[in-house]
C-alpha cells in the first residue's frame, strides 16, 4: 500500500505543479540514465539500512550518510528512489517543523526522573503537539521531577535523526542516561493506549535496569487495565471516550456527538489493532461508547483485530444504522503514518477510499488529530502518574495529586465532562510531589531464616509492572539479596 500511495501522491503533485504553470523535473524510468538510477538506488539502499529496529555503533554515521546522499540528488533523481522501504517521501515529505519539537534528551536530571515512553512518530507536527503535549502536561503537573523522553521504535528514531537531525533516545539510551545522571527515583509513564505488546516490551526493558535505581514505578497506559471481556469498562475508558467524542464533534461543527447523530453523522475512531490478548480493549471502548449513549460512535482498527473492527465490518454497521455521513478520526495518541495514509490516504485501500467506494454515504471526511493534544486525555496521564508515585513502597512515596492540564491545552467542547472522579484535578498550581526519601533498612529476617552474611548498606525497591514489589538488599560484600 505504501508504494501505491507514493505513486498516487507523485501523480497528484505533478498535476498540481502543472496546473500552477510549473512541472517538476520528473524522469520517466526509460528516460533516466544509468548514472541517475545508480545514484537513486544508492540512496534507497542507505535508507533501507537504517529502516531497522536495532541500533548499532554505526547508526549515527548511517543516518548522516543517507541524508548527505539524498541532498546530492537532483529533483528528478529523487523521484527514482525506491527500495524495500525507501521512497521519495522518506526525506521529501513535509510533516511540519521539527524544530518545534523538544526531544527532552538532556542531562542534569537530578534524583527524580519522570520518563515518558512512546512508540513515536516521524510526523513532526504530531510529535510536537501530541507526544509533546502529554510531556508538557506532566512537566507542568510535576515541576520537581525532570521529564525525559524515550521512543520504543528505533525505525522512527532513525528517520527523525536522518531527516531532521533531531536525536531522540530509545529505551536503553534513556535508562542509561538516567543511571549516568544518578537518578534515584524513576517513574515511567507510557503513552501507549493499552497493556499490549509494546507495554510488555517496555516492562522488560525497565526490568533490566531496575536494580540501578532506588525506586522504580511504572504507571498505567492510557486506557488502564484491560479487563476480561468486551463488556468490561473503567473510568479511564470513560474519560477518553468522552474526551475524543467531544473533540471530534466540536471539530465537525457540532456542540456534541448526539447533535451530530441527529444530522445523520457517524464517527469512526480508528485504532491500530493487535493480535495481543489486549485487543479486547477495542471492543471495550465500543461498549463504553454505547454505555455513554453515543449510538453514532464506532470503533475500528487498521489491522482488523478484533475482527469486528475491520473496515468492511465497520462500514456494514454504519450502513445498517442508517447514517449518511461519516467522520474518520484516529483513536491513537499521534496522528502519524496510520492516520495520514491508512485512514485518510488516497490509496484504494485507505479507509477513506473504502468508505467512499461503498457508495453508502453522501459524505466522508477525515480529522487528522491525535489523542495526545486533547486536554482531558492529558489529564488521564497526569492521574496515572500520580497513582504510580503514590503506590505503596517500603520507601516514603512522594505525595502526588492529579493537577489540571496545562492552561494552554485546548479545552474540549462544553458538554464533555471532566475525567473520571477518582482522578480529580486539584486547585491550580498544586504543589509538586516531594522527592522520595531514602528507604528504611529492611526488617530483620525471621528467626528460622539464616541472615545474609554481611552488613546491609542499602536496598532497592522495585515497583513491578504487574503491581507487585521486589525489595533487593545490598550487602557490603557486594551481594544483592531479594
- Residue-wise pLDDT for 455-475, tens only, equals 655 555 555 565 555 555 555
- Residue 431 is assigned to a structural domain of this protein: no
Same domain, 246 and 365: yes
- Residue 165 is assigned to a structural domain of this protein: yes
Percent of the chain with pLDDT over 70: 75
pLDDT band at 412 (very low <50, low <70, confident <90, very high): very low
Same domain, 239 and 346: yes
Same domain, 280 and 182: no
Same domain, 348 and 257: yes
Tell me the CATH number at 219: 3.40.50.1400
- Residue 119 is assigned to a structural domain of this protein: yes
pLDDT value of position 198: 86
How would you classify residue 225: left for phi > 0, otherwise alpha for psi between -120 and 50, otherwise beta? beta
pTM assigned to the model: 0.78
Q: Which of 474, 436, 431 has the alpha carbon at shortest distance from 456?
A: 474
Question: Is 159 a known active-site residue?
Answer: no
pLDDT value of position 13: 40
pLDDT value of position 196: 87
Burial of 101 (0-12, 13-18, 19+ CB in 10 A): buried
Q: Where are the strands (E) in 256-367, listed by range?
A: 265-271, 297-301, 325-330, 363-366
Q: Return the half-sphere exposure (C-beta side, CA atoms, 13 A cut-off) of residue 281.
A: 29
- Residue 309 is assigned to a structural domain of this protein: yes
Same domain, 145 and 130: yes
Question: CB–CB of 142/114 below 8 Å?
Answer: yes
Work out the mean pLDDT of the chain and round it to a whole number: 83
- Residue 426 is assigned to a structural domain of this protein: no
Domain count, the chain: 3
Q: What is the mean pLDDT of residues 141-155?
A: 97
Q: Where are the strands (E) in 104-226, listed by range?
A: 112-118, 146-151, 185-190, 215-218
Same domain, 197 and 112: yes
Burial of 240 (0-12, 13-18, 19+ CB in 10 A): buried
H-only helix segments in 185-333:
197-207, 235-251, 257-262, 280-291, 311-321
Same domain, 241 and 357: yes
Same domain, 43 and 163: no
From residue 98, alpha-carbon distances to 47, 128, 133, 404 in Å are 19, 8, 15, 28
Q: Where among 44, 64, 92 does a domain terminate?
A: 92
Q: Where among 53, 73, 92 does a domain terminate?
A: 92
- Residue-wise pLDDT for 225-262, tens only, equals 988 899 999 999 999 999 999 999 999 999 999 999 99
Pick 475 or 9 by higher pLDDT.
Answer: 475
- Residue 5 is assigned to a structural domain of this protein: no
Q: Which domain holds residue 121?
A: 99-224+377-389
DSSP labels, 26-91: PPPTTTS-HHHHHHHHHHHHHHHHH-SS---TTHHHHHHHHHHHHHTS-HHHHTT---SS--THHH
pLDDT value of position 393: 52
Pick 86 or 440 by higher pLDDT.
Answer: 86
- Residue 457 is assigned to a structural domain of this protein: no
Catalytic-labelled residue, pool 159, 272, 338, 384: 272
Give the least confident one: 184-188, 203-207, 343-347, 434-438: 434-438
Q: Which of 278, 222, 245 has the alpha carbon at shortest distance from 367?
A: 245
The Cα–Cα gap between 313 and 310 comes to 5
The Cα–Cα gap between 33 and 40 comes to 11
Which residues have CB under 8 Å from 77's CB, separation 6+? Answer: 27, 32, 36, 39, 40
pLDDT value of position 108: 95
Same domain, 143 and 127: yes
Helix (H) or strand (E) holding 180: helix 171-180
Pick 402 or 137 by higher pLDDT.
Answer: 137
Same domain, 75 and 116: no
Q: What is the CB neighbour count within 10 angstroms for residue 434?
A: 14
pLDDT band at 330 (very low <50, low <70, confident <90, very high): very high
- Residue 475 is assigned to a structural domain of this protein: no
Q: Is residue 162 predicted with pLDDT exceeding 70?
A: yes
The Cα–Cα gap between 180 and 184 comes to 11
Which residues have CB under 8 Å from 299's CB, separation 6+? Answer: 268, 269, 271, 282, 283, 285, 286, 289, 309, 314, 331
Give the least confident one: 247-251, 273-277, 383-387, 418-422: 418-422
Give long-range contacts, CB 8 A cutoff, 24+ apart: 10-19.
10/79, 10/88, 12/346
Same domain, 220 and 342: no
- Residue-wise pLDDT for 96-111, tens only, equals 999 999 999 999 999 9
Same domain, 110 and 80: no
Q: Is residue 396 predicted with pLDDT exceeding 50?
A: no
Q: Which of 295, 365, 360 has the alpha carbon at shortest distance from 329?
A: 365
Q: Is residue 440 predicted with pLDDT exceeding 80?
A: no
Q: What is the CB neighbour count within 10 angstroms for residue 117?
A: 27
Amino acid at each position: 500500500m505504501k508504494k501505491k500511495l507514493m505513486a498516487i501522491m507523485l501523480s497528484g503533485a505533478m498535476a498540481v505543479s502543472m496546473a500552477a504553470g510549473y512541472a517538476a523535473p520528473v524522469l520517466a524510468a526509460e528516460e533516466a540514465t544509468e548514472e541517475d538510477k545508480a545514484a537513486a538506488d544508492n540512496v534507497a539502499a542507505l535508507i533501507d539500512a537504517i529502516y531497522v529496529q536495532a541500533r548499532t555503533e554505526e547508526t549515527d554515521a548511517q543516518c548522516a550518510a543517507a541524508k548527505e546522499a539524498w541532498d546530492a540528488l537532483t529533483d528528478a533523481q529523487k523521484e527514482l528512489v525506491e527500495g524495500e522501504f525507501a521512497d521519495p517521501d522518506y526525506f521529501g515529505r513535509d510533516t511540519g517543523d521539527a524544530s518545534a519539537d523538544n526531544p527532552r534528551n538532556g542531562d542534569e536530571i537530578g534524583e527524580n526522573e519522570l520518563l515518558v515512553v512512546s512508540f513515536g512518530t516521524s510526523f513532526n507536527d504530531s510529535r510536537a503537539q501530541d507526544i509533546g503535549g502529554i510531556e508538557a502536561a506532566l512537566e507542568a503537573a510535576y515541576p520537581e521531577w525532570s521529564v525525559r523522553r524515550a521512543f520504543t521504535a528505533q525505525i522512527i528514531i532513525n528517520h527523525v535523526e536522518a531527516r531532521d537531525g533531531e536525536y531522540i533516545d530509545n529505551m536503553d539510551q534513556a535508562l542509561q542516561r538516567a543511571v549516568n545522571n544518578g537518578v534515584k527515583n524513576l517513574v515511567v509513564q507510557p503513552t501507549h493506549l493499552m497493556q499490549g505488546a509494546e507495554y510488555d516490551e517496555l516492562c522488560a526493558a525497565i526490568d533490566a535496569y531496575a536494580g540501578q535505581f532506588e525506586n522504580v514505578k511504572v504507571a498505567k497506559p492510557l486506557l488502564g487495565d484491560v479487563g476480561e471481556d468486551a463488556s468490561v469498562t473503567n473510568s479511564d475508558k470513560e474519560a477518553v471516550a468522552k474526551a475524543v467524542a467531544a473533540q471530534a464533534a466540536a471539530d465537525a461543527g457540532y456542540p456534541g456527538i448526539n447533535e451530530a447523530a441527529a444530522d445523520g453523522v457517524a464517527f469512526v475512531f480508528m485504532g491500530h489493532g493487535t493480535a495481543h490478548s489486549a485487543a479486547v480493549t477495542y471492543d471495550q471502548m465500543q461498549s463504553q461508547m454505547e454505555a455513554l449513549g453515543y449510538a453514532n460512535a464506532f470503533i475500528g482498527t487498521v489491522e482488523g483485530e478484533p475482527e469486528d473492527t475491520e473496515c468492511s465490518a465497520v462500514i456494514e454497521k454504519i450502513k445498517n444504522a442508517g447514517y449518511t455521513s461519516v467522520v474518520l478520526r484516529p483513536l491513537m495518541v499521534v496522528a502519524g503514518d496510520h492516520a495520514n495514509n491508512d485512514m485518510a490516504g488516497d490509496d484504494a485501500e485507505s479507509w477513506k477510499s473504502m468508505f467512499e467506494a461503498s457508495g453508502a454515504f453522501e459524505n466522508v471526511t477525515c480529522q487528522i488529530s491525535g489523542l495526545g493534544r486533547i486536554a482531558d486525555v492529558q489529564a488521564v496521564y497526569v492521574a496515572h502518574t500520580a497513582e504510580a508515585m503514590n503506590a505503596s513502597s517500603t520507601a516514603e512515596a512522594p505525595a502526588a495529586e492529579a493537577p489540571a492540564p496545562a492552561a494552554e491545552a485546548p479545552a474540549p467542547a462544553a458538554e464533555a465532562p471532566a475525567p473520571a472522579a477518582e482522578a480529580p484535578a486539584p486547585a491550580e498550581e498544586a504543589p509538586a510531589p516531594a522527592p522520595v526519601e531514602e528507604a528504611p533498612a529492611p526488617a530483620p529476617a525471621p528467626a528460622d531464616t539464616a541472615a545474609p552474611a554481611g552488613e546491609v548498606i542499602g536496598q532497592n525497591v522495585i515497583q513491578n509492572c504487574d503491581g507487585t514489589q521486589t525489595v533487593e538488599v545490598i550487602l557490603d560484600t557486594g551481594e544483592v539479596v531479594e
